[in-house]
Structures are given as C-alpha cells and as structure tokens.
A and B are shown apart, each in its own frame.
Chain A
Amino acid sequence: MEKVTSRGLTLLKDTKLSRRKALTGAAGLGIAAAGAATFAPRRAPYVKGQAKTQLQFWTGFTDPDLATLRKIVEQYNAQSTSYEVIVTQLAPAEVTDNTRLITAVRGGDSPDIYHMDRFTVASNAANGLVQPISEFVDEAVRATYLPFAMEEVTYDGQIWGMPLDTDARALYYNIGVLREAGIDPTEFDQSNGPVTWDRLLEVANMASVRDANGTYSRVGFVPYANQAWHYTYGFSWGAQFYDEANCAVTPDDPKMVEAMQWVYDACASMDANAISAWETPRRVPGFPPQQGSLVTQGVAFEVTGDWMINQYAQYAPTAEYGITYLPVPQAGMSSATWSGGWSMVVPEGSTNAEGAVDFISYMCGEPGQRIYTTDTRHLPTITSLTTDPSLYTELSSFFAAQLLPTSNNRPPLPVGSKYWDEMTSAYQAIYLNEAQPAQALATAKENTQADLQQFC
C-alpha cells in the first residue's frame, strides 16, 4: 500500500500535477459532467438495428382502464412497422389540471400523444398546449364519429384531437333498498319512461334513515352526488350554456336558474348540512369506489354513468339494481342526458405529429375502440359501433341505444375548464343553501365571461 502511495506521489511530482490541481481538476470535471447531463438534449436511446421511431404516450388513467390502454398499445406496436409507442402513467389529478403537460411543453420535453378529457381540448388548444391535426384527418374519417364527440375536439375550425370513448348519465336505483323501505321498484322500470324529479325526491325520502341526532345513515337520494352535476340539471330543464352569437356564457339562463332552484329547495327540504355531512367525505379525490354509496347500499338512487355497471360487477356482484332515464322537470317532457369522454391529442412541441396521429388513428379508430369498449364497458365514439350488439351487455346496450342518440355535450369553449369550475363553485353555494341560485350563477357568469372576452 505504501509502495503504491509512493509511486502515486512520484507520478504527481513528475508530471507537476499537485494535489491541489488534481482536486481542482476533479471538481471541475464533476461540474462539467453534471452540466453536460443537465443540458444535453434528450433523445431516445439508440438501439442497434432498431428501425421504429419511439412515440411517448402519457395518460393519467389507472387500472383497470390503463391495462386496456396498454393492451391496445401492444397490439399497435406489433402491427406497426414504423412506430413504437411507450406508455407513461401520470399521477392521477383533476381533469382540468394540466401541470405535467404545461411544464413538459414549456420545458421542450413534450410527449407525442396525450390522453385528455375532451371538454378541456378547446381550452388547451386556445392556449397553445396542443397541435392541430386537421391535415391528417380527412372529412370521411371525421364523419364516422358521433357529431357531438367530434365537435368537442374542434375549435376555431381546426381538429385538435380524436375522440376515444364516451359515456352517458342515467338514474340507478337499488332494488333491495327500495323493497326494504316498502317501495315498489317497478315504477322505475325503463319501460315506464322517466319519473319527475319531484316524484324521485318523494320516493327517495321514504327510503332515507336518520338517527335521533338527525344524522343520515342512509340517504334516499343526494341531489348532487356523483354525476348529478349542474350540467345534468341544466340539460334536464333545457337550459342553454353558451350564446354563440354574442360570445357569452349563459349559466344564468332562466331555465338553469329554475333547475338550480329545484336543487336548492330539495336540499333545504332534506337539511342541507345533514346531507352534506353524509356526502362530503365521499367526494375526496381517490375515494375508494368499493365504498361508494350505491355499491354499499347507502343510497336508494344515484345519478351516475355507464361505467357503474362494471363497478357493480366488481364490488357488489349480487346486488339487485336497475337503470333508467334521468328524471324530467314535468311529466310528459323528454328525458335529457349528457356525455363526456376522453380524447387523444398531440401536444405542442412534439416533433412527430404524423407518427402520433398514426397511433391515435389506431387507438381511436375501429381496432382500438372495439377492444376498449369490450374491456372497459365505456361507450364508443364511432357511430357504427354504437349499434353493434356484439359490444354490449343487456345493461350497457341501454346507454348506447337509448341515451347516446339524443345526448348533449358541454360547449367546447376556450374557457371550458374555468366555466366548469365557476359553475361548480356556484353549485356548491346553491346545494349548501349558502346563496340563492340567481346570485350564485350571476357570479359564475361574471367570472367566466371576464376570461372568455379575450377570445371573442
């Protein structure tokens, strides 16, 4: 050991490399290496003989839907001779939260494909977060999709993404809970058509159970639970949410005010605070679906979507339940529902838009949508697939056959996310009986319109 040290020192002496210089050099090299690693452009690793171009696909989905996405990606990769798609799962977040994508685009590290809630596409397009892909999607292809789904990915005359799936809202009812409360569930059979909102509330109150302190241990119907959103009531009452001629949002449409007045009164009649005490803990992000009110028989009725069929199958396979049309404000009116869904977009900064659209066309085209519909029970956006009986069970065919053809969609606006959040804030004030509907909706209009004005 001593010998080595002595030789080392000799070497340092011989080459006039002092210990200080060696340390300085080492520190400098370290910094240079760190700098090089930090600022070097990121490229896909080169693999000898690799012919395919890699495409990065980001999604915030979790299993079981993520597993289906991966399955479709694998099939695409197997048949594509030009591209290989790599799936990256993002941490789940609110659908209006674009943190990862904004920082990636701004940082010059965009993915090639991004899984985006469709109602936010117009807003993200208007702000320069996604690329138009009109040149890759010809008219014939566009015509094969449900018109409202295509409308949601269209902004300013351009196509900004392709629709993957869709959904529809309906009224679910727990047959066991109704029977236990002495209520005949046959009144809610689909064949009888929709009941009125008032009748729903009347029956629901018969199924509610409260203790001596007024705390609910079962609620017949929580007027704002799950998918009973502001839009749900607005469409039911026939409200318009956007005045295109005047470039104005219209959450204060008289029919919307009327709808929200019903929610206000319904909550007041059930004790708004007691209902909120039941519902609030179930609204936190990540609340386990197996503890949801419907599958645990905690409620008699709930407004939710087609995906609930899978949750029942998974968490309460023996539960007896029914699905019917959303109620109507007055007997004789037509039931109205609305649809959302997801899309695939090409973020700004991706240098391989053509490749990305090649994958998107597969994923959102018939091959991908067939697998996705069969495995996840979500509804397809390709019109011809909505009438293909091989893709549906008896329960899910109701959504495709009865609800989708007349379903509504939220207006695709450059401030769509802001509009949703402002209406949600107003909605909370209404169902908690903290503000009168007209006043709360006027505030939502004022706040949203201020942001919309720059795009008018």
Chain B
Amino acid sequence: MATDAVAVAPERSNGPTPRRRMSRQERQNLVTGLLFISPWIIGFLAFLVYPFYETIRLSFTKYNGIRDPEWIGLDNYRTMATDDLFWKVLFNTLYYTGLAVPVGVVAAMLMALCMNQNVREQPIYRAILYLPSIIPVFALSFVFLNLMDPTYGIVNRLMVDIGLPNINWFGDPAYGKIAFVILAQFGAGQAALIFLAGLKGIPQHLYEAASIDGAGNLRKFWNITLPMMTPIILYDLILGLSLGIQIFTQVVILTSPPGSPVNSNLMYVNYIYGLVFRDFRSGYASALALVLFLITVVLALVIFRWSRSWVNYETV
C-alpha cells in the first residue's frame, strides 16, 4: 500500500489527475441510486432549500403574501432595529430558552437517574415518568392550566397553604414565561430516555473501582457519571436550544390573544406568525425569520466552542 502511494504522488504533483470515465455499469448504478433517494432529494430541495432561498429573497421586499413582492433593499432590517416589539419578543424568547434548556437538562438527568434505579417496580416507574411526554401539548396545556389556576388549581392552593403567594401565572406579566418553563418540563421524559441510554453505557467497572477506592454516591456521580454523560448533555443542549427558540404552540393555547398580557408572553415565532397571517407583512416576517436562523446558528456555535472545555469524548 505504502509503495503504491509513493508511486502515485509524483503524478499528482504534475497536474490534475485525468478524470476516469465512469463505466456504463457505474452510471447505471448512479442513476438507480439517485432515483431511489430522489424522494428525499426532492423533499430537501422543495421544503428546505427553496423556502430558505425564498425567505432570504423576500426579506428584502415588501410583500403581503398575496400580491407580488416589491424590492425595498434593507428597509426591513432597518425597521427591525427600531421595532420595540421585535426586541421584546427576542428578549422573551431568549429568557424562556435560557431558563428552559438548562432546567430541562437537570430535569432529564434526574428522571434518568430515577429510571435507572435497580428496583422491582422499575418498569412501572419508567412508564409513570415518561407518560407526560406522550400526552399532546394541547391536552397537557389544559391540564397544566387547571393545576395552576389561581382560584381552583391544586398547585396554587398548596402554595398558599405553605405560605407562598398565590401566583397569577398567565395573568401577571412577570410569571407567564416561568410558567412556560415549568410546562416544558412535562416533556422531559423524551430527553430522559436518551440520558438513560447514556447511563446504561457507562462501564460498571468504573463504579466498582471507585467503590474500592472508598468513593461515595455523590463522588461517583461528579467524577464518573457526569463526565461520561457530557456528550449527551451537549446533544440535549443543542436540541433544547433549537426547540426552545421555536416555542409556539403553548403560547397559542394558553394565552389569548397569543402572547397576552401586554405581549409579555409573545415569543419570536408567534410574532412572525402574526405578521404573516394577521398583518400581511410577509416580507418583514421573512427578515425576522432569517435573523432568528442566524441567532440560532451563532448560539449553537458558541455552545459547541464552549463544550470543548467540558465535554469528555474519551471512551473506556
């Protein structure tokens, strides 16, 4: 192998290697392969590449969604800079994501640790912990609303009984976003399953060795479990960021008009939706969508960069 490589090298340095013609068989293989994956290629082009291109194009236009777009250059981006509601929804969305994602990681980790306990009723506990994750958001939101009702809700009643204030979750502008963060944890079972798979993958001999060295449960968690789980935590952070920043459904279900009161719960995607389907401002909405994409990419890159200092990819 090494000899062949040495022999080939001088030829490459003299110029580009002549491209070998594909045989008839190879061409047929290529066509067949492309045809078989063509549904995906068509879907990718039609539902990702084309809308992305259109979003960029429309972001430079005044477009009401019905009539032909009119080129206005960077006006939409200039408008954004002075649009108070844009800054408000950006703050709301980052506030929610910044809280919901790390709280979600902790919740998923705790649930996974509980699911991983070696007890006889383990399957029952797993089912109970995972159950809220398979309930549709719509139904879950109504259950949540009833639990947290300031007049009749059992959670609020308990809070009052132990001396806490009776919080008006969706009526007081200060608490709506926190309520959405709590609601998001009902879906932590999905991430907990992935965390559970990660916990199962940690070699037992590490724990055995630590036990022999006299380490307690807490020490084992900090020095073995947590470092070994960091790749999964990173995955969950990125996924959580992407989903958190696109929060939409809960806002529509739980607040009326969406984002009430006083737009304190209005999230970025809900604002875009309102611009397109109520205000006929698809051009401006496209600019907002593009900015959201860029914000998500930048935040993901920051997390990846930061992860170099704490993610452990070593295998045992």
Task: Give me the interface of A with B, judged by CB distance under 8 Å.
Answer: 20, 23-24, 27-28, 31, 34, 94, 96-99, 102, 105-106, 123, 127-129, 213-217, 273, 276-281, 283-285, 348, 417-418, 421, 424-425, 428-429, 432, 434-435, 447, 451
Contacts and interface: CB of A to CB of B under 8 A. Distances in A.
Interface SS of chain A:
helix
A123 B262 CA distance: 23
Interface string B230-253: 000000000000000000000011
B160 A428 contact: no
B254 interface: yes
B168 A127 contact: no
Given A127-B64, A418-B278, A418-B279, A24 B170 contact: no
B296 interface: no
Contacts of A20: 28, 32
Given A348-B66, A418-B279, A277 B28 contact: no
Contacts of A425: 260, 262-263
B55 interface: no
A358 B79 CA distance: 45
A276 B172 contact: yes
7 contacts: A97-B278, A102-B277, A215-B160, A277-B172, A278-B150, A435-B262, A451-B279
A323 to B, nearest CB: 26
Interface stretch (B33-41, B195-203, B210-218): B33-41
Contact of B38 (A27, A106, A123, A213): A27
A31 B35 CA distance: 8
Interface residues of B, number: 43
B151 A24 contact: no
Interface in B158-203: 160, 166, 168, 170-173
Given A28-B35, A418-B279, A421-B257, A105 B151 contact: no
A106 B258 CA distance: 25
Contact of B151 (A31, A34, A215, A447): A215
Interface in B15-31: 28, 31
A424 B151 contact: no
Nearest to B261: A428
Nearest to A281: B149
Contacts of A424: 257, 260
Contacts of B276: 102
Contact of A216 (B67, B151, B172, B263): B151
Given A24-B35, A273-B171, A425-B263, A105 B256 contact: no
Interface in B264-308: 273-274, 276-280
A284 B38 contact: no
